[in-house]
Amino acid sequence: MIMELVAESLKLTVLAGLAIAGILVIIIWKKNQTTKVTYMKAVIQAASLAAIFYLFTYPVRPLLILAVILIMPIVLGRFFCGWICPFGLYMDVLTLIRKTFQIRYRVIPDKLNKFLHNFRYALLLLFLSLALILSLIEPPSTLNRLTIMALLFAGPFEHLGLLLGPMVPLIVPWKGPLEIGGLYFSFPYIQDVIKYSSENFVTINALIFLALTGVGSFFVRRVWCRFCPTGASIAVVNRFKGFKWAPVLHLNKNETKCTKCGICKRVCPVQVTEVYEQKGGKIMTSMCMLCFRCVEMCPYEDCLIVNLGRKTVFKSRNWLEPSEVD
Ligand code: SF4
Ligand code: SF4
Ligand code: SF4
């Protein structure tokens, strides 16, 4: 059993390492290509979706995947949310459709947005407590070392699988809730909604969830990210002062170049205000998903800089005509 878990962890670490290394190589290779951040992000999100689909066909325990997602932010901050998460990609596609129809997005008031950001931690705590209570209600028959190892990844702790909700591809390599032509379709969290709904309300609950997240994401950019317990778990690591030194991927601001034009605040998909408000230095807020949209759109050269270790990978550029700057 232990050897099996070690082998699975190693396989997963190698896969995750290769994926992250690939993404970082592309970013470094494309360094200073700030004009192409949105385009590169879309390509990497799509490639990640394909890799995640493949990962789910692989005999790896889902909660080991979760462990990798939760360890990654120690080094890369919320890079997963900005560049990899499939649910993030679906919401970005809805944003693109809304833009195509030239419909304006809705802005959540800053105070409410910050409240929701902090409220996610309460949701996460509640959710983890429930998982713990369920594990106590259904205790294992013996508590030897092997059982504890198994408990970490299965048994009553299967409820933690909900944290993998945002990773669910639209076409799934398992028996999903909707079958068309031999293909199974799903949606983030939909199987959890079905699992935790009482029999009479399964369909209605699933439809309500789909409608709320679909319509919500259409009008409010990255709406689910304001509630997401997985996002909170990823961000929680970077909230601890003890880990502040660890991430190698940073967004920095050069205050002397900032004209307070406010563009960074307007283009941020999760309405981070710190880039606008902070007086230079590293932007450390756990709300930031490191998507670098603000760097792409900031119109003053070297005002916003993304560093990977000591290497600059993206930086803002002068894209306003000199007459407009003046
Ligand atoms: S906050 Fe949740 S849904 Fe949003 S990108 Fe992160 S993991 Fe995905
Ligand atoms: S977009 Fe750049 S110049 Fe404008 S407020 Fe933000 S950081 Fe400052
Ligand atoms: S502050 Fe910039 S990098 Fe962070 S989430 Fe907003 S747009 Fe993306």
Output DSSP code: residue 178.
E
Ligand 3 lined by 275 (C-beta under 6 Å): yes
Amino acid code (one letter) for 297: M
* CA atoms of 104 and 179, how far apart (whole Å): 35
Q: Is the same domain home to 111 and 21?
A: yes
* Residue numbers in the chain where pLDDT is lower than 70: 1-34, 58-63, 131, 134-159, 238-246, 321-326
Ligand 3 lined by 292 (C-beta under 6 Å): yes
Alpha helices in the chain (DSSP H): 2-29, 37-57, 62-76, 79-83, 86-100, 110-137, 145-153, 190-196, 202-219, 229-239, 263-267, 274-277, 293-297, 322-325
pLDDT of residue 274: 93
Q: Is the same domain home to 209 and 257?
A: no
Q: Angle 221-223-225 (CA atoms, 0-180°, nearest 5)?
A: 110
Q: Is the same domain home to 46 and 107?
A: yes
Q: Is the same domain home to 221 and 262?
A: no
Q: Is the same domain home to 229 and 256?
A: no
> What is the per-residue pLDDT across 114-173, written as a single tens digit (0 to 9) for each?
998 888 888 888 877 776 776 666 655 544 444 544 445 455 556 677 788 888 888 888
Q: Is the same domain home to 228 and 256?
A: no
Q: Is the same domain home to 12 and 35?
A: yes
At which of 235, 269, 298 does a domain end? Answer: 235
Q: Is residue 326 part of a domain?
A: no
Query: Would you say 56 and 169 are in contact if contact means Cβ atoms under 8 Å apart?
Result: yes
* CA atoms of 56 and 34, how far apart (whole Å): 33
Cα of 128 vs centre of ligand 3, distance in Å, is 28
pLDDT of residue 192: 83
List all residues 6 or more positions away from 101 whose beta carbon is below 8 Å from its beta carbon. Answer: none
DSSP-assigned letters across all residues of 246-315: --SEEEEE-GGG-----HHHHH-TT---HHHHS-SEE---TT-----HHHHH--STTSEEEEETTEEEEE
pLDDT of residue 215: 93
* CA atoms of 201 and 197, how far apart (whole Å): 6
* pTM exceeds 0.85 for this model: no
CA-253 nearest atom, ligand 2: 7
Q: Is residue 324 part of a domain?
A: no
Q: Is the same domain home to 298 and 166?
A: no
Amino acid code (one letter) for 63: L
At which of 168, 203, 235 does a domain end? Answer: 235
Q: Is the same domain home to 285 and 226?
A: no
Q: Is residue 115 part of a domain?
A: yes
* CA atoms of 48 and 19, how far apart (whole Å): 8
List phi, psi (to 5°) of 92. Answer: -65, -35
What percent of the chain has pLDDT above 70? 74
Q: Is the same domain home to 86 and 217?
A: yes
Within 10 Å of residue 25's Cβ, how many Cβ atoms? 10
Number of domains in the chain: 2
Ligand 1 lined by 225 (C-beta under 6 Å): yes
Q: Is residue 290 part of a domain?
A: yes
Q: Is residue 158 part of a domain?
A: yes
What percent of the chain has pLDDT above 90? 31
DSSP, collapsed to helix, strand or coil, labels residue 194 as helix
pLDDT of residue 13: 65
Q: Is residue 322 part of a domain?
A: no
Determine the structural domain holding residue 284 and report its residue range: 245-317
At which of 200, 235, 270 does a domain end? Answer: 235
Cα of 100 vs centre of ligand 2, distance in Å, is 26
Q: Is the same domain home to 225 and 254?
A: no
Give the CATH number, domain containing residue 290: 3.30.70
Ligand 3 lined by 298 (C-beta under 6 Å): no
* CA atoms of 123 and 116, how far apart (whole Å): 10
Q: Is residue 35 part of a domain?
A: yes
Q: Is the same domain home to 152 and 271?
A: no
Label residue 10 exposed, middle or buried (CB < 10 Å: 0-12, 13-18, 19+).
exposed
Ligand 2 lined by 304 (C-beta under 6 Å): yes
Q: Is residue 163 part of a domain?
A: yes
